[in-house]
Amino acid sequence: MRTKLVAGNWKMNTTPEEGQKLASEVVNMVKDELNREVQVVLAPPFTHLHQVSRLIGDAKHITLAAQNVSEHEKGAYTGEISVGMLKAVGVKWVILGHSERREYFKESNQQLAKKLDAVLAGGLQPIFCCGEPLEVREKEDQNGYVQRQLEESLFHLSEEQMRKVVIAYEPIWAIGTGKTASDEQAQEMHAHIRQQLAGKWGQNLANEIRILYGGSVKPDNAKNLFAKPDVDGGLVGGASLKSRDFMDIIKGAI
């Protein structure tokens, strides 16, 4: 049985004060309302990590993520943040390869392979994002496109390393657009991803890996998406900035 996971990617939103308020609301709601096994992950901006880490404390169910990390350990990389720095402030997860990082910061599949290595070597867990742009979906080439992302970034990992990875399928045309993939489209791609994992590492491992859906997940569509057999939770952007909405999405995973 795969434990469902719901992660909130705040992106470049909230002041530290707003972030503090949002995180404490989520921590309290999870404490009061979540009585079943769901993992909740919060991914605030770097500047808020320390404070949100303290707010989470030893709260059951909730852990902390960063939205990106350098592939380098330390040194002259102005503006970058290392795995060691993240660990020191209580981070457990790192989102890697978000489409916004691929598009605006030109992160390639090859660079992401290195970031994955750094994250895993440091003992953190990656949430590895993949997903196709609209023009690829229109040509119905989404399966091949996502398969390439997996092959070029993940396929060098050992079985033991792969066990630590969570995959997030985020079709770019559904991110921040209010246009979510249908439950069937999500299920179809998640099954395809799981099949690729099985081909590479075997069916047992493929059955263990969690595959999240991201792209306009909202309280009113979360339950149906998460009910699909290969959808193991969500990576939520906009709706994770409102504690009530985020909590209702988490409840969709119960």
Beta strands in the chain (DSSP E): 4-9, 38-43, 62-66, 93-96, 125-130, 166-169, 211-214, 233-236
Residue number with CB closer to ligand 13P (96 or 175): 175
Q: In the bound complex, what is the minimum distance in angstroms from residue 170's beta carbon to ligand 13P?
A: 5
Give dist(CA 26, CA 10) in Å, integer. 13
Report in angstroms how near the CB of residue 235 gets to ligand 13P at its nearest. Answer: 4
The residue annotated as part of the active site, out of 61, 100, 170, 190, is 170
C-alpha–C-alpha distance, residues 188 and 94, integer Å = 26
- For the bound state, the minimum distance from the C-beta of residue 57 to ligand 13P, rounded and expressed in Å, comes to 25
Whether 138 is catalytic: no
In this structure, the number of other CB atoms found within 10 A of the CB of residue 19 comes to: 22
**Which residues bind to ligand 13P, rule: CB under 6 A?**
9, 98, 170, 175-176, 214-217, 235-239
Residue 71, phi then psi, degrees to nearest 5: -85, -10
Catalytic residue among 48, 61, 98, 190: 98
Residue matched to tokens 């409102």: 242
Using the minimum distance from each CB to ligand 13P, give the nearer residue, 201 or 243.
243
103 noted as active-site residue: no
SS3 readout for 147-200 = HHHHHHHHCCCCHHHHCCCEEEECCHHHCCCCCCCCHHHHHHHHHHHHHHHHHH
Nearer to ligand 13P, 107 or 170 (CB): 170
Contact 163, 210 (CB under 8 A): no
Q: What is the DSSP letter of 11?
A: -
Q: Which residue is nearest to ligand 13P (CB)?
A: 237
- Which residue, 120 or 217, has its beta carbon nearer to ligand 13P? 217
Which among 73, 86, 95, 83 is positioned nearest to 12, based on CA atoms? 95
Closest CB 253 distance from ligand 13P, rounded Å: 15
Residue number with CB closer to ligand 13P (206 or 211):
211
User: Smallest distance, Å, CB 43 to ligand 13P?
Assistant: 8
Active site residues: 98, 170
